[in-house]
Amino acid sequence: MSLDATIKSTLDSSGLKYDRRGEGRYFVTLPGTKKLQTNCWLVDGDHAFSVEAFVCRRPDERHEDVYRFLLQRNARLYGVHYTVDSLGDIYLVGRFGKETVTESELDKILGQVLEAADGDFNILLEIGFATSIKREWDWRVSRGESLANLQAFKHLAEPAGGHEPGLTES
């Protein structure tokens, strides 16, 4: 079976949404819970099979802490690793010998991409975007807007001691 056929068969059997963008080029949508979806490229290149998935944009703050987390996390990942592009956006990438890509192996790789992107997403937001999250929380509270999708970050926005975010003492 060709690598293109292996990729297609794996995606079809997994029930994942994908778009075939030419021979051996697939744009896959991995569903998540914390990160609602992770978009992932699967590419059968001239010399290798590669995987690339966008995780999140460049952090606003605490870059060193974010990068430390990513580097330490790399040691526990299977087949893929974190990297940043020239803008500082965070991706998961992997490169494999074409002969090593079987349906079983591709399933493991996609599982790792999903586990990492979805599982690490809130941690990355908490480290790299805490100020923005607090600001968004305050803005929503001041306007009576829903806080439903910010509940994972409640501990950032509601300091101990009964202080209400956004309200200052006179």
> pLDDT per residue over 36-91, tens digit each?
999 999 999 999 999 999 999 999 999 999 999 999 999 999 999 999 999 999 99
Q: Is residue 103 domain-shared with residue 147, that is, in the same domain?
A: no
Whether residue 90 sits in one domain with residue 149: no
Decide if 168 is inside a domain: no
- List pLDDT tens digits, range 80-133: 999 999 999 999 999 999 999 999 999 999 999 999 999 999 999 999 999 998
Indicate if 68 and 143 belong to the same structural domain.
no
User: 110 and 51 in one domain?
Assistant: yes
Q: 108 vs 55, 66, 132, 149, 150, CA distance in Å?
A: 18, 26, 34, 29, 31
Is residue 122 a part of any domain in this protein? no
pLDDT of residue 164: 52
pLDDT at 84: 98
pLDDT band at 16 (very low <50, low <70, confident <90, very high): very high
Question: 92 to each of 55, 131, 166, how far by Cα in Å?
Answer: 7, 25, 36
- How would residue 152 be classed by pLDDT, with cut points 50, 70 and 90? confident
Q: Residue 146 pLDDT more than 50?
A: yes
140 found inside a domain? yes
Q: Are residues 98 and 157 in the same domain?
A: no
- Do 108 and 146 lie in one domain? The reply is no
> Is there a single domain that holds both residue 150 and residue 74?
no
Residues 98, 70 share a domain: yes
Structural domain harbouring 134: 129-161
Is the per-residue pLDDT at 138 higher than 60? yes
Q: Are residues 90 and 145 in the same domain?
A: no
Number of domains in the chain: 2
